[in-house]
């Protein structure tokens, strides 16, 4: 735990050192760019239950009122019910085939659970109890980290390929979006989170480029959301996950900014989620990494820094 904390601190120092040398600070800019008028209402904080506690969770996903948390540092996925009570876990087992290493993105399709595992550098397909069934799209993916299932297609961010890779139900590649790069639209530098809007637009958290990129359903680049860097009003430092609410607003988890930024459908930043618990407790998100919004308009935040899941009500 101490070593992991030191590594995180070192990475943060190196990152912000780079920002200083390049005369831009997304965190300072974010504070200047947005003053939350009404933060989303905090509902609950989940650390675990019984003898099962989270450790550095990276992603969260909700399906049929069950909450799947990628408990990454514990090499497993933990499932809670809608009230936050522990149901089951899988991945931290002796069976080599069913064992997970560093699970990130999760998607449930039918009776199968798809887990993008950055340690295995594969997508593992498991049954509802976490028993291994097969690997998915092995010949296509290099190091997948996030996954979204939308209209019979899987959308992966792949940090090995530095692309968004779209595959069909059989695992065949149907579209590859972007390439490695640090400047132009369509260039990625460790893309992480991904979301698909109802109109087919594909939104990608281009993490190490400190921006969100938007593509149409055919993969054509549309625009970049980053704020006005010339005015030192950057929206993001290291965006890691994306989710959308029913109004079309876009939520972006940013661990280095220690908040979830909220943008309208045109990419304008207007609010943020940061407070945890009652105001008098003065608790806030630490390193929010993964987010999800369910059909009841609850926002789930996997807070990597304090090993917990934070839930907000967006209604």
Domains of the chain as residue ranges with CATH? 25-313 (2.120.10.30)
Q: Identify the pLDDT of residue 28.
A: 58
Task: Spell out the long-range contacts of 212-218 with Cβ–Cβ below 8 A and sequence spacing 24 or more.
Answer: 212/236, 212/239, 212/242, 212/250, 212/252, 212/267, 213/178, 213/185, 213/186, 213/188, 214/267, 215/164, 215/177, 215/186, 218/175
Residue listed under structure tokens 């831009």: 24
The answer on pLDDT for 51 being more than 80 is: yes
The answer on pLDDT for 208 being more than 50 is: yes
What percent of the chain is modeled with pLDDT above 90? 82
Q: What is the mean pLDDT of residues 214-229?
A: 94
The answer on pLDDT for 229 being more than 90 is: no
Q: What is the mean pLDDT of residues 145-171?
A: 98
Q: What secondary structure letter does DSSP report for 209?
A: G
> What pLDDT, in 10s, does the model give residues 242-276?
999 999 999 999 999 999 999 999 999 999 999 99
The answer on pLDDT for 22 being more than 50 is: no
Higher pLDDT, residue 96 or 181:
181
Alpha-carbon torsion angle 3, 78, 104, 175, nearest 10: 180
What percent of the chain is modeled with pLDDT above 70? 87
> What pLDDT, in 10s, does the model give residues 181-202?
999 999 999 999 999 999 999 9
Contact 224, 26 (CB under 8 A): no
Q: What is the pTM of this model?
A: 0.90
The answer on pLDDT for 3 being more than 80 is: no
Q: How far apart are CA 208 and CA 219, in angstroms?
A: 20
Mean pLDDT lowest among 74-78, 94-98, 216-220, 309-313: 94-98
Q: Identify the pLDDT of residue 309.
A: 98
Q: Identify the pLDDT of residue 8.
A: 46
């Amino acid at each position: 735990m101490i070593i992991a904390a030191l590594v995180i601190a070192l990475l943060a120092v190196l990152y912000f050192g780079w920002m200083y040398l390049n005369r831009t600070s997304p965190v300072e800019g974010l504070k200047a760019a947005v003053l939350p008028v009404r933060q989303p209402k905090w509902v609950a904080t989940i650390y675990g239950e019984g003898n099962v506690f989270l450790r550095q969770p990276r992603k969260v996903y909700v399906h049929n009122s069950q909450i799947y948390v990628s408990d990454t540092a514990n090499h497993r996925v933990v499932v809670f019910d809608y009230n936050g009570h522990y149901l089951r876990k899988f991945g931290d087992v002796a069976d080599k085939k069913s064992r997970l290493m560093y699970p990130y993105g999760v998607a449930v399709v039918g009776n199968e659970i798809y887990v993008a595992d950055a340690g295995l550098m594969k997508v593992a397909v498991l049954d509802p109890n976490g028993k291994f069934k097969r690997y998915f799209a092995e010949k296509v993916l290099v190091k997948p980290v996030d996954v979204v299932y939308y209209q019979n297609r899987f959308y992966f961010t792949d940090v090995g390929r530095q692309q968004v890779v779209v595959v069909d139900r059989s695992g065949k590649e149907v579209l590859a979006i972007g390439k490695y790069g640090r400047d132009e639209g369509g260039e990625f530098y460790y893309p992480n989170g991904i979301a698909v809007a109802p109109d087919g637009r594909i939104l990608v958290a281009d993490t190490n480029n400190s921006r969100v990129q938007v593509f149409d359903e055919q993969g054509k680049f549309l625009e970049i959301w980053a704020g006005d860097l010339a005015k030192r009003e950057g929206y993001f430092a290291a965006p890691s996950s994306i989710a959308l609410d029913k109004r079309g607003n876009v939520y972006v988890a940013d661990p280095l900014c220690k908040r979830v930024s909220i943008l309208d459908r045109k990419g304008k930043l207007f609010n943020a989620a940061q407070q945890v618990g009652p105001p008098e407790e003065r608790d806030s998100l630490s390193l929010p990494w993964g987010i999800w919004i369910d059909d009841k308009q609850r926002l789930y935040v996997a807070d990597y820094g304090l090993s917990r899941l934070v839930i907000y009500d967006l209604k």
